[in-house]
Amino acid sequence: MLTATLLALIAGGQPATAAPRIWVEHTDVPVALMASNDTGAAAKGCRAEWTIRWDRDRHYTEIALVDLPAQGEVKIDDCHDWWNPSVSKTMDVAVALYGPDGKLLAKESYDGLFKLVARQGLPTDGWTGTASRGGNPAAAFDSDLNTRWDTGAKQQVGDWYLLDMGRPQRVAGLVIDSRQSASDYPASLSIFVSEDGIKWTRLMDVADTEPMNQSGRLRFDFSPVSARYIYLVLSMPHGDSWFWSIHELSVLPAK
């Protein structure tokens, strides 16, 4: 049973921030299902339920037990299996949190928020691409998820892709979308930027992209920087036989 202290706090008109919460952390796709509790009383054996509905028709519900801390947050699910663009163009999510006594503690719904979008961020006018090898580099930003640039053979250390946006712009993130070829992503990647193509800044080294991987879609957020050129260098292959593919490369503007 839910502790008497926690029930009293919930029923006693405490501020909204004190009540248990359940929500979906997201960018433009679901990232993590989270719950929190700030009542000061832990609650073991709570039940989380989430219902996924595709194209407002097909749906399924999953359930997980969760122990709420007295203070703080806990991750319930990492959402890796939620979004499947091969079977849906839209996805609605409803989440609910119940106490061990079955009483509803919190709920949240996300209707129409998650949609299949080929690309986002900055417009591609004036963009050009080059690559160390493989297919047409421009296919990586043509707004068509069915086309791609790829290495044409298995990944290897040193493979690179270079994007020229035509002029310097303030940017704060990248989305490398390979969901149509979900295993064709590097296990490790270095990202460089430049305003003039001469002086380069090593923006970030991603030691293992899998924690950021959403079924072949990688997102990297970073502090805003001015860049015209974005240079991606593969530093560790993923698997022994996969190509490196980019179906759509989106550059996110600084807000």
Here the tokens at position 108 are 């949240």
Q: What is the DSSP string of 127-189?
A: -EEEESSSS-GGGGGSS-TT--EE-SS---TT-EEEEEEEEEEEEEEEEEE-GGGTT-S-SEE
Strands (E), the chain: 21-26, 30-37, 43-54, 58-68, 72-77, 90-98, 104-115, 128-131, 149-150, 160-177, 188-194, 200-206, 217-236, 245-246, 248-253
State the DSSP code for 213. B
Predicted local distance difference test score (pLDDT) of residue 203: 96
**Of 96, 97, 88, 75, nearest in space to 31 by CA:** 75
Model pLDDT, residue 163: 98
State residue 118 phi and psi, 5-degree precision. -60, -40
Average pLDDT, stretch 154-167? Answer: 97
Over 90: is that where the pLDDT of 31 sits? no
pLDDT digits (tens, 9 = 90+) for 75-131: 999 887 787 766 678 899 999 999 999 999 999 999 988 887 888 999 999 999 999
Record the tokens describing residue 129, joined without a space. 């691409």
| 252 CB neighbour count, 10 Å cutoff | 20
Residue 105 tokens, joined: 């503690």
d(CA 195, CA 43): 53
Q: What number is the average pLDDT over the span 36-59?
A: 92
Give the pairing of strands 128-131 and 104-115. Answer: unpaired
The per-residue pLDDT for 87 is 67
From CA 3, how far away is CA 60, in angstroms rounded?
A: 31
**Residue matched to tokens 């806990």:** 74
**pLDDT above 70 coverage of the chain, percent:** 89
Query: Which of 28-42, 79-93, 115-129, 163-177 has the highest mean predicted lDDT (pLDDT)?
Result: 163-177
The span from the CA of 46 to the CA of 31, in Å, is 21
Contacts of 57 (CB under 8 A, 6+ apart): none
**Residue 209 has what pLDDT?**
66
Look at 28 and 101; give whichever has higher pLDDT.
101
Nearest to 20 by CA among 111, 96, 109, 110: 96
Taking residues 188-205, what's their average pLDDT? 96
Tell me: pLDDT of 14 over 90.
no
Mean pLDDT over 229-252 rounds to 95
Model pTM score:
0.73
C-beta separation of 250 from 120 below 8 A: yes
Q: How many Å apart are CA 172 and CA 193, to the nearest integer? A: 11
Top mean-pLDDT range of 14-18, 80-84, 228-232:
228-232
User: Average pLDDT for residues 36-56, to the nearest whole number?
Assistant: 94
Task: List domains and CATH numbers for the chain.
Answer: 4-115 (2.60.40.10), 128-253 (2.60.120.260)
Q: How buried is residue 99: exposed, middle or buried, by Cβ count under 10 Å (0-12/13-18/19+)?
A: buried
CA distance 220 to 21: 27
- pLDDT value of residue 5: 44
Q: Which of residues 253 and 79 earns the better pLDDT score?
A: 253
